[in-house]
Amino acid sequence: MNPTSHIITFAPDGTARCLWTEAVPLHELGRLAIQRASAVEFNPASQHWEVRLASDPEAVAFSHPSRETCLEWERTTLNALL
Residues of the chain below pLDDT 70: 1-4
- List helix spans (H) across 2-81: 67-81
| Residue 2: predicted pLDDT | 52
What CA–CA distance (Å, rounded) separates 44 from 10?
39
- Assess contact for 17 and 82: CB atoms under 8 A: yes
Which three-class secondary structure state does DSSP give residue 56? coil
| Residue 1: predicted pLDDT | 46
| Residue 4: predicted pLDDT | 54
What CA–CA distance (Å, rounded) separates 35 from 20?
10
